[in-house]
Structure 1
Amino acid sequence: MTAMPRYVPSSTRIQGARWQRSSYSNGMNNCVETATLDSGPSAGLRAVRDSKNTAGPALLFSPGPWESFVNCLR
C-alpha cells in the first residue's frame, strides 16, 4: 500500500477541482481556496492553495484532520 500524497507541486495538476474561496476573503485576494477532490487516487481529500498563487502548490488533507482544523479555528 502506498502512502497518500500530502501535496502537489502545482494545483493546476488537480483535474476537475472546483475551488472555493472563503467568504471572508477581501478584494486584496489574501486568502486560501479549498476543493474537495472527487476522483483519482486523491478522491475524498481536501486540497488547499493560496488564492494569490492559483498555479502554485496545494496541500492535501484527509477529511478528519481537515474537519478538526476548521473546528479549532471556529
Structure 2
Amino acid sequence: MDQAMIDITDIPNVQTGDMITILGHNHSSFQSIDAIAGLMGTINYEVVCLIRKRVPRVYPEVLEKACCKFWNTSKVLKS
C-alpha cells in the first residue's frame, strides 16, 4: 500500500482540501529531494526509489523539448 502522513500541526490556517506540494516548486517555495533526504537521514537516491510506480513521473526537460517543438517557442514552460 502507498501511504503518506504529513504533520501539519504547526502550519496555521490549513483547511481540508488545501493543495500541498511535497516535492518541487510551489508558488512561493521549493522543496528539494535533497532536503527531504536530509530530514530522513538518507541520500536523495533513496527518496526517489521510495516513490512507487503509481506516482506519475514528469520529466521537465522532455516536456520542454516536446512542448517547444510543438509550439515552436522556447518560452512555453519557462517560469
Output the TM-score relative to the length of structure 1.
0.23
The structure in which a higher percent of residues are helix is: 2
Output the TM-score relative to the length of structure 2.
0.22
The structure in which a higher percent of residues are strand is: 1
Compare CA radii of gyration and give the structure with the larger one: 2
